[in-house]
Chains A and B, each alone.
Chain A
Amino acid sequence: MARSMTQARAEDSYRHAGARKAGQLGAAVLVLVILMLVDLATGPSGMSIADVWTALLAGPSGENRAAATILWQLRLPQTIMGVLVGGCLGISGLQMQTILDNPLASPFTLGFSASAGFGAALAIMFGNFGWLPSYLAVPISAFAMTVLACCIVYTIAVWRGATPEMLVLSGITVLFFFQSLQSLLQFMASPEVLQQIVFWLFGSMLKATWTSVAVCAVIMIACLPFIVRDSWNLTALRLGDANAASLGLNVRSLRKRTFLMVALLTSAAVSFVGTIGFVGLIAPHVGRALVGEDHRYGLPMAAVCGAIILIAASVIGKAISPGASIPVGIITSIAGIPMLMAVIISHKETGS
């Protein structure tokens, strides 16, 4: 009797925690939606929230042409792209930290930002490769270079075993390789081209279009079933390789396919808008602090946190300098430093 009572009460505690986590996720989504509206309402043209609301309801072919164009052709794709990029970086950041068992890992640890930067610089410098329109050449080249970087790391990992150490070491090699190539291009570039390259490297939502939104969304949705399928497996990996393996999990194969997923999500995020630091590092920490290490909650929470950080950075960027909004990449990097500091200190405290 007594035991069945404690059992019933305790059973509640797990379900209760689950409900609480779902609630937190819902609250985070609400915060994100509010931030999105604020983001839509801020910008150089000075539309009020009411104007934004009517233009939003009127649709892309609304009667107020100026408002419709600003909202539907400029601001909305930027905001939605921000959400998608933040989500991609948040998810891939958590995946990376889990498969490398390292709280300081991020989607960029394995060189994906450097390779995308090199790809973009290549396309900016050598134009459209003769046949591509330039607004496609840059992201395609950035994407291709990221895939190449991924292939190099993956090959080394397959060849020498997909351990965290091997992944990190080969990733760092790839990172420096592409960084050097990019420096070489920057050195050779004319001042005008150099300026364009540097601007690309500041991740900014100004580059977003409906095309980029569509491509990014398609990649994210395509990844979703695989992310869902491995949620429990990534949770199991938190017990360490030996324990996870003895639960019947093929640890190496999990690590390899998660790595591919990270490469895909990251390149989808950075190819269009440029590199945006720290979101992929900080969002997983915030997510974990809120909902714990169960990846069924952790992954969506990291995604929403990533989106919140990115949209908040966008709002701040526009608020600081209303004329020419500061690129979000710069804001996240500046704001990221104290956050990173906090992460390091809190890890020292828990002694883990």
Chain B
Amino acid sequence: MSRLDASQRVLRTTNLGVERGGRSIISGIDLTLAGGLVTAVVGPNGAGKSTLLAALAGALPCAGEVVLDNAADASADSPAARSDKSGPAPASWRVGYMPQAQTLRTRLTVLEVLLLGRREQLGWRVSDKDLAMAREMVAHFRLDAISDRPMTRLSGGQQQMVLLAQRLMREPDLLVLDEPTSALDLHHQLAVLDLIRDYARRTGAVVVAAIHDLGLATRNCDRVALVDGGTVRSFGAPEEVLTRGMVGEVYRVELETYRNAEGRSVNVPVAAVLAPMGSVSKSRG
């Protein structure tokens, strides 16, 4: 778990784009994601969130450039660049990519699944080190009670936690999570965001996660990238990006603004706007 590498990492994209069947899914994306922070990718259905994440993780052929760098030697003239037609990220960078949740049909136990996270390091016999690491992860994710249970006997949320823990077993420099909280209850949504935030802080890894719940993105992530129509509309601190006007326009909803106990304003969506976009400026108390 503890990779004692304090140097923060940076992920930069230049004019990143993905085409499928001659149709552009995402295009012209320039992002700089700092290590040690959790970036939430938000946006309406079909905006291109999943495609963007897959491209960042190197799981899709893409145009443009994705550069993974150590912040310390950002000025170095030969960054570990991966451009042109995709391929895996540079060998020096470990990527932990979790695609959207699918139904699992395996009866592998939780511990066996965690150990598979070390696939590239595993010998024929599981080493004491790898096993100890898996046990540590079990404790870290509070999976003790289910660690010997087959995956088919877990709930969707438990499966999602196990798969996330498995990605952390890889000790990734870049952690890309496609809706890691989609099957989780409130408690576990917050717990998972705490876990990945803690991981980012401790290791300086770049962490990107697609998140549907804007409240969660605002309160529990460090940066937000708002994706709409295949491009990044806005990127920055959550409260700068998720403004009432921007959210209303992109998501086509009406919002009401409240003040919470700490005096901060909170935007709450109250109705879907069925009219064409651009007519959502109506405001209420």
Tell me how far the C-beta of A16 lies from the nearest C-beta in chain B, rounded to whole angstroms. Answer: 10
What is the chain A residue whose CB lies nearest that of B151?
A: A239
**Other-chain residue from A14, A101, A246 in contact with B59 (beta carbon distance below 8 A):** A246
What is the chain A residue whose CB lies nearest that of B120?
A: A248
What is the chain B residue whose CB lies nearest that of A296?
A: B124
Chain A residues with CB below 8 A from B167, complex form: 246
Q: Would A235 and B108 be within 8 Å (CB), given that A6-B144, A17-B148 are in contact?
A: yes
Chain B residues with CB below 8 A from A6, complex form: 139, 144
25 A-B pairs with CB atoms under 8 Å apart are: A6-B139, A7-B132, A7-B136, A7-B139, A10-B144, A11-B132, A11-B135, A13-B147, A13-B148, A14-B131, A14-B134, A14-B148, A15-B131, A18-B126, A239-B116, A239-B163, A243-B102, A246-B59, A246-B98, A246-B99, A247-B116, A247-B119, A292-B112, A293-B108, A293-B112
What is the chain A residue whose CB lies nearest that of B170?
A: A247
* B106 on interface, CB distance cutoff 8 Å: yes
Q: Are A243 and B124 in contact (CB under 8 A)?
A: no
Tell me how far the C-beta of A284 lies from the nearest C-beta in chain B, rounded to whole angstroms. Answer: 13
Chain B residues with CB below 8 A from A247, complex form: 116-117, 119, 166, 170
Chain A residues with CB below 8 A from B59, complex form: 245-246
* B79 on interface, CB distance cutoff 8 Å: no
Chain A residues with CB below 8 A from B104, complex form: 239-240
Chain A residues with CB below 8 A from B166, complex form: 247
* A53 on interface, CB distance cutoff 8 Å: no
Q: Would A293 and B107 be within 8 Å (CB), given that A10-B138, A246-B99 are in contact?
A: yes
Residues A224-277 near B (CB distance < 8 A): 228, 231-233, 235-236, 238-240, 242-243, 245-249
**Given A11-B132, A249-B119, 6 more contacts at CB 8 Å?**
A18-B126, A239-B163, A246-B96, A246-B97, A247-B116, A294-B108
**Other-chain residue from B102, B111, B116, B134 in contact with A232 (beta carbon distance below 8 A):** B116
Q: Are A232 and B109 in contact (CB under 8 A)?
A: no
* B88 on interface, CB distance cutoff 8 Å: yes
* B6 on interface, CB distance cutoff 8 Å: no
A249 to B152, CA, bound (A): 22
* B122 on interface, CB distance cutoff 8 Å: yes
Q: Are B99 and A242 in contact (CB under 8 A)?
A: yes
* A3 on interface, CB distance cutoff 8 Å: yes
* B284 on interface, CB distance cutoff 8 Å: no
* B207 on interface, CB distance cutoff 8 Å: no
Most buried by A among B116, B119, B132: B116
Q: Are B152 and A243 in contact (CB under 8 A)?
A: no
Q: Are B108 and A7 in contact (CB under 8 A)?
A: no
* A190 on interface, CB distance cutoff 8 Å: no
A246 to B94, CA, bound (A): 11
What is the chain A residue whose CB lies nearest that of B169?
A: A247
Q: Are B120 and A292 in contact (CB under 8 A)?
A: no
* B224 on interface, CB distance cutoff 8 Å: no
* B282 on interface, CB distance cutoff 8 Å: no
* B57 on interface, CB distance cutoff 8 Å: yes
Q: Are A238 and B108 in contact (CB under 8 A)?
A: yes
* A350 on interface, CB distance cutoff 8 Å: yes
Chain A residues with CB below 8 A from B112, complex form: 235, 292-294
Chain A residues with CB below 8 A from B135, complex form: 7, 10-11
Q: Would A14 and B99 be within 8 Å (CB), given that A6-B144, A235-B116, A247-B116 are in contact?
A: no
Chain B residues with CB below 8 A from A245, complex form: 59
Residues B147-185 near A (CB distance < 8 A): 147-148, 150, 152, 163, 166-167, 170
* B113 on interface, CB distance cutoff 8 Å: yes
Chain B residues with CB below 8 A from A233, complex form: 119
A292 to B120, CA, bound (A): 22
Tell me how far the C-beta of B49 lies from the nearest C-beta in chain A, rounded to whole angstroms. Answer: 16
* A352 on interface, CB distance cutoff 8 Å: yes
Chain A residues with CB below 8 A from B132, complex form: 7, 11
Chain B residues with CB below 8 A from A288, complex form: 107
Q: Are B120 and A242 in contact (CB under 8 A)?
A: no
Tell me how far the C-beta of A253 lies from the nearest C-beta in chain B, rounded to whole angstroms. Answer: 13
Scan A1-38; emit 1 where CB is below 8 A from any B CB, else 0.
Answer: 00100110011011101100000000000000000000
Tell me how far the C-beta of A36 lies from the nearest C-beta in chain B, rounded to whole angstroms. Answer: 28
Give the 10 A-B CB pairs with smallest separation, nearest first. A238-B106, A246-B97, A242-B99, A293-B108, A247-B119, A7-B135, A236-B116, A352-B105, A352-B152, A14-B111
Q: Would A292 and B108 be within 8 Å (CB), given that A239-B116, A247-B117, A248-B119 are in contact?
A: yes
Tell me how far the C-beta of A14 lies from the nearest C-beta in chain B, rounded to whole angstroms. Answer: 5
Tell me how far the C-beta of A3 lies from the nearest C-beta in chain B, rounded to whole angstroms. Answer: 6
Q: Are B108 and A232 in contact (CB under 8 A)?
A: no
A10 to B124, CA, bound (A): 21
Q: Are B102 and A242 in contact (CB under 8 A)?
A: yes
Residues B38-69 near A (CB distance < 8 A): 57, 59
Chain A residues with CB below 8 A from B120, complex form: 248
Q: Would A232 and B99 be within 8 Å (CB), given that A101-B105, A239-B108 are in contact?
A: no
A249 to B97, CA, bound (A): 12
Residues A71-127 near B (CB distance < 8 A): 101
Q: Would A292 and B107 be within 8 Å (CB), given that A7-B135, A236-B119, A246-B59 are in contact?
A: yes
A143 to B79, CA, bound (A): 52
Scan A317-352; emit 1 where CB is below 8 A from any B CB, else 0.
Answer: 000000000000000000000000000000000101
What is the chain B residue whose CB lies nearest that of A17?
A: B148
Chain B residues with CB below 8 A from A243, complex form: 99, 102, 163
What is the chain A residue whose CB lies nearest that of B150?
A: A292
Tell me how far the C-beta of B166 lies from the nearest C-beta in chain A, rounded to whole angstroms. Answer: 8
Most buried by B among A6, A296, A352: A352
A6 to B147, CA, bound (A): 12
What is the chain B residue whose CB lies nearest that of A228?
A: B124
Chain A residues with CB below 8 A from B111, complex form: 13-14
Q: Are A239 and B124 in contact (CB under 8 A)?
A: no
